[in-house]
Amino acid sequence: MAPTQPPLVEVRPVANAHNEWTALLLRGARHAIDGATLQALFGTSDLLAAAAPLDCIVMLDSAALLTPAILELLPPNRVVLAVRAGALAEEGVAKRLATLQRDGWRILLDGDPVPGTPLPPALRSRARSVAQEGATGWPAPASLPALFGPHLAHGVDSQAAYQACENAGFTWFEGDYPLAQRRAHSGGDGDGSDGSTRKRLLTLLALLARDADSRALENQLKQDPALSYHLLKLVNSAAFSCGTEIASFGQAISRIGRRQMQRWLQLLLYARTGPDGPPNLLLPLAALRGAALEALCARDGGERDEQDLAFMAGVFSLLDRLFHMPMDAIVADLCLPAHVEAALLRREGLLGRRLALAASARPDPAALDAAGVDGAGWWQARLHAYHWAIQVARNV
């Protein structure tokens, strides 16, 4: 059961250098996380079950919160404690954190300690925010001990910041850098292909939006071997496997159904990377938005078609980042319903306000009210969305 008053916390995915989600980062949306918030977050199994098999990284300003009662709620094999390094200046904190680490908890020291405060030798795993720092403020290359990681860089909002942090020795990354990915230089499209590929993908999106027949979809897929490969890989994965190998698009439709197939095709548009390249981090983000909007629509009693459109709006909201072109140019070719267009282009209407909420990691009461969502409803929608997005990322 969800907490009676779900906490307004910021929940962000953390990825490794292979573009794989490895953890969810939790920090206060407006204020530091306190004991009551930790009780609400971990007092039930909802959060850890939704995040499985990923870890949860909890950002803490003070070690004083780590009372025996709180620690009983935080399984050491699933929760990482990122404690503000400045807290080491307080009496007994260094010894307390070293003891916790010896007892099995993983500790990250977040930021820089107060000048003159020695760093305990046992606490060498680091976290650092690089948000709003210029190149002169980024960590120096090879400045972190590789043997004592993983080290976490958070607030990584550009590809340049990501590269600097990776060169420094960070191996976990949180921030909006996936939204700022560079254009590939091998062709005209952001995915490194020629203009004909983008045209085919936009045509496929338009067919999906119009609920085109299976033959029309199959004809487009035959022109895109990479997308066909990802699709067949997905339906033959453990998530859907029935013991019979699926070898064609027609078989795939009969196996998982046309409605579900259209959803996977919408998501698989983000799976386009080079044959040996890493996963595209836009894919789980698109899945996250789509699942959250669908869950809110279902919560309101929306019909299946309404839920499909809500899901589509969430997934399509990152197409401008994928194709590196204005959203209005993309929407012009898709023939979407007017309210979906308004949501994508201007965040208008209830769907648009909910899309803005889903795109923001920092919920606040005003945004929730505007989206017609209470705290409990949004908390459950987010847990559902993260759980589904995690499974998508592991299966594609």
Q: What is the pLDDT of residues 153-179, one digit of tens each?
A: 999 999 999 999 999 999 999 999 999
Which CATH number belongs to the domain containing residue 96 in this structure?
Answer: 3.20.20.450
**pTM of the predicted protein model:** 0.89
Contact 230, 268 (CB under 8 A): yes
Coil, strand, or helix at residue 221?
helix
- What pLDDT was estimated at residue 226? 74
Sign of CA dihedral 342, 343, 344, 346: positive
Judge whether 330 and 323 are in contact, CB under 8 Å.
yes
Is there a single domain that holds both residue 154 and residue 126? Answer: yes
Mark whether 124 and 158 lie in a shared domain.
Answer: yes
For residue 2, the model assigns a pLDDT of 43
Q: Is residue 153 part of a domain?
A: yes
Question: Which whole number is the average pLDDT over 178-187?
Answer: 62
**Above 50 in pLDDT, residue 392?**
yes
Q: Is residue 376 part of a domain?
A: yes
Domain end residue (candidates: 120, 150, 180): 180
What is the per-residue pLDDT for 265? 80
Whether 165 and 133 have beta carbons less than 8 Å apart is answered as no
12 — pLDDT class (breaks 50, 70, 90): very high
Judge if 57 and 119 occupy the same domain.
yes
DSSP code, position 54 = S
Which residue in the block uniquely carries the two structure tokens 């017609």? 372
The reply to whether 239 and 125 lie within a common domain is no
Q: How far is CA 319 from CA 269, 316, 323, 383, in A?
A: 9, 5, 6, 24
Q: What is the CATH number of the domain that holds 217?
A: 1.10.3210
Q: Name the band, by pLDDT with cuts 50, 70 and 90, for residue 146.
A: confident
CA 175 to mean position of chain CA atoms: 10
In a domain, 4, yes or no: no
In this structure, the answer to whether residues 56 and 136 fall within a common structural domain is yes
Domain limits at 319? 184-396
* Domain stops at, among 147, 180, 213: 180
Please write the tens of the pLDDT for every residue from 253-263: 677 777 777 78
Residues 283 and 349 in one domain: yes
Q: Is there a domain that residue 2 lies in?
A: no
**Are 212 and 140 members of one domain?**
no
Residue 326: other Cβ atoms inside 10 A: 11
Structural domains of the chain, count = 2
User: Residue 369: is it exposed, middle or buried by C-beta count within 10 angstroms (0-12/13-18/19+)?
Assistant: exposed
> 17 and 103 share a domain?
yes
Residue 121 resides in a domain: yes
Tell me what the pLDDT averaged over the chain comes to.
Answer: 86
d(CA 286, CA 385): 10
Q: How far apart are CA 224 and CA 26, in angstroms?
A: 39
Name every residue whose Cβ is closer than 8 Å to that of residue 70 and which is 6 or more positions away in sequence: 35, 38, 39
Residue 289 and residue 330 in one domain: yes
Q: Which residue has the tokens 């299946």?
A: 304
The DSSP output letter for 337 is -
Is residue 167 a part of any domain in this protein?
A: yes
Q: How confident is the model at residue 206 (pLDDT cuts 50, 70, 90)?
A: confident
Is the pLDDT assigned to residue 121 strictly greater than 60?
yes
* 161 and 213 within one domain: no
Same domain, 83 and 139: yes
Residues 253 and 388 in one domain: yes
Whether 131 is covered by a domain: the verdict is yes
Listed residues 180, 214, 233: the one ending a domain = 180
